[in-house]
Amino acid sequence: MAAVSSWGRLSRAESRVIDLDGRGQVARQIGGPGPAGLAYGNGRSYGDVCLNPDGRLWMTRRLDHAVEFDRANGRLRCEAGMLLSELIALALPSGWFPPVTPGTQLVTVGGAIANDVHGKNHHRTGTFGCTVRALTLARTDGTVLTCSATENPELFAATIGGLGLTGVIVDADLQLRRVAGPWMDVETVAFSGLDEFFAISKASEADWEYGVAWIDCTGRGSSLGRGIFLRANHASEARPGPPERQRRMFFTPPVSLINGLSLRVFNLAYYHAHRRMQGVSRRSYASYFYPLDGLLEWNRIYGPRGFYQYQSVVPPAAARAATADMLAAIGGSGTGSFLAVLKVFGQVASPGMLSFPMPGTTLALDFPNGGASTQGLFERLDFIVQAAGGRIYPAKDARMPADLFRRGYARLAEFLPHRDPGIDSAMARRLLGSA
């Protein structure tokens, strides 16, 4: 037994931890008698989607091999425990890059599929699941199945964004995208409010592959919704990139370093520093996509009680008003995030039955665990999201009510028959009941 936590460090769950050893062994290792199990990738989900207290946890990180790499066409078949950082190290020297990447490269391919993660180019490319041509799935009854759009297509759609509940993904066949090298052309644009944000986002769609905004969540009145828009394209330069610099947060402070004062100071400084840096600059892919990876274990900043992330998406028609309402509620609460992220999702359909992205606007913020007052704020945000017809992202969640989940995910009934009865998670128990 070992105590395992997720990125938000809200709890430590005792589980029976089992390392999966090799592709051919997975079906045997996850079968047999014992409590229900769950695959664990690299624990970069914030809440309880990757936790299984009192059950088995199948650690996938040893499944990190490339099975086949067609360097001419960018097709990679790799084991599901490979990190995106390892995938990039393998593929970039041959001019290939993952078509979709989240804000950290320290996630496994299996975790990226199970949460159907999105990146800053959703408006062009859709989700990570859109890049998966096929996957191998091991079920606890001993079966091993190939799933793709043509073979077991329903199980394929249930597994992409399936929160690890349909089986263990053993390997995946991915289509990568061409790049010239490790460099990005990044334009920094300051905006003073939400109307300007939506206008810049729209105007950027045609010419910029990537786009995301940071919002000053402490802004009120005339500064409500001000922020910095960062849009980017892969550059045509092949020169090798700089070495990635990583520091580590070595200790957990006794209390959260995030409080009303530090938030105001940071947000003000960040806004004005970036306003001065407006214009186009050439940056390494790591500095554009993964700025937070530069400080390993930064999640300790929030102290021993941990933190939540709240990420919602609301449909286009309601996006402007709902985002303003949420920012006003957050600003008024005196709590909030160093980095509040705002992004417009595009029209590309997500392939998973429970995929989070849909056309609309997504807002993501971190909150220190402040007990009842934090929960009270989340209830106000839930109300706004539900009234707008939106939903919450399970990869970031540790507390959404089951009712909000059911209303947000219209294909839940279609998904449920594909659950593997030998798999369970803390999130599944909370939102779906037992397997």
Ligand X SMILES: Cc1cc2nc3c(=O)[nH]c(=O)nc-3n(C[C@H](O)[C@H](O)[C@H](O)COP(=O)(O)OP(=O)(O)OC[C@H]3O[C@@H](n4cnc5c(N)ncnc54)[C@H](O)[C@@H]3O)c2cc1C
Site for ligand X contains 30 (CB under 6 A): no
Would you state the structure tokens that stand for residue 406, as one six-digit string? 């059911």
CB of 295 to ligand X, least distance (A): 10
CA-CA distance, 409 to 354, in Å (whole number)?
Answer: 6
* For ligand X, the closer CB: 119 or 351: 119
Grouping H, G, I as helix, E, B as strand and the rest as coil, residue 300 is: helix
One-letter amino acid for residue 172 of the chain: A
Task: Detail the DSSP E strand segments found in 31-131.
Answer: 37-40, 56-59, 66-70, 75-79, 96-97
Grouping H, G, I as helix, E, B as strand and the rest as coil, residue 37 is: strand
Q: What is the DSSP string of 239-292?
A: SPPPPPP-EE-----SS-S--HHHHHHHHHHHHHHHHHT-EEEEEEHHHHH-GG
Which range in 42-50, 65-73, 223-231, 402-410 contacts ligand X by CB under 6 A? Answer: 42-50
CB of 304 to ligand X, least distance (A): 19
Site for ligand X contains 39 (CB under 6 A): yes
Site for ligand X contains 292 (CB under 6 A): yes
Site for ligand X contains 108 (CB under 6 A): yes
Q: Which of 207, 170, 158, 200 is nearest to 350 (CA)?
A: 158
How many amino acids of this chain bind ligand X (CB under 6 A)?
A: 32
Structural contact between residues 422 and 37, judged by C-beta atoms closer than 8 angstroms: yes
Site for ligand X contains 395 (CB under 6 A): yes
Which range in 104-112, 249-257, 271-279, 406-414 contacts ligand X by CB under 6 A? Answer: 104-112
Site for ligand X contains 41 (CB under 6 A): yes
Site for ligand X contains 200 (CB under 6 A): no
CA-CA distance, 29 to 168, in Å (whole number)?
Answer: 11
* For ligand X, the closer CB: 266 or 334: 266
Q: How many CB atoms lie within 10 A of CB 389?
A: 16
Given candidates 15, 23, 27, 45, which one binds ligand X under the rule CB under 6 A? 45
CB of 299 to ligand X, least distance (A): 7
Grouping H, G, I as helix, E, B as strand and the rest as coil, residue 133 is: strand
Q: Which of 98, 115, 102, 103 is nearest to 40 (CA)?
A: 115
Given candidates 10, 13, 38, 228, which one binds ligand X under the rule CB under 6 A? 38
Site for ligand X contains 392 (CB under 6 A): no
Would you state the structure tokens that stand for residue 255, as one six-digit string? 């209390």
Site for ligand X contains 118 (CB under 6 A): yes
CB of 98 to ligand X, least distance (A): 12
Site for ligand X contains 164 (CB under 6 A): yes
Q: Could you say which residues in the range 352-381 bind ligand X, by CB under 6 A? A: none
Structural contact between residues 36 and 435, judged by C-beta atoms closer than 8 angstroms: yes
One-letter amino acid for residue 406 of the chain: R
* For ligand X, the closer CB: 115 or 361: 115
Which range in 102-110, 180-188, 199-207, 237-245 contacts ligand X by CB under 6 A? Answer: 102-110
Site for ligand X contains 301 (CB under 6 A): no
CB of 433 to ligand X, least distance (A): 17
CB of 78 to ligand X, least distance (A): 11
Helix and strand totals (H; E) in the chain:
13, 21
Would you state the structure tokens that stand for residue 138, as one six-digit string? 């091991």
Give residues in contact with ligand X (CB under 6 A). Answer: 7, 38-45, 49-50, 60, 80, 102-104, 107-108, 110-112, 114-115, 117-119, 163-164, 168-169, 292, 395
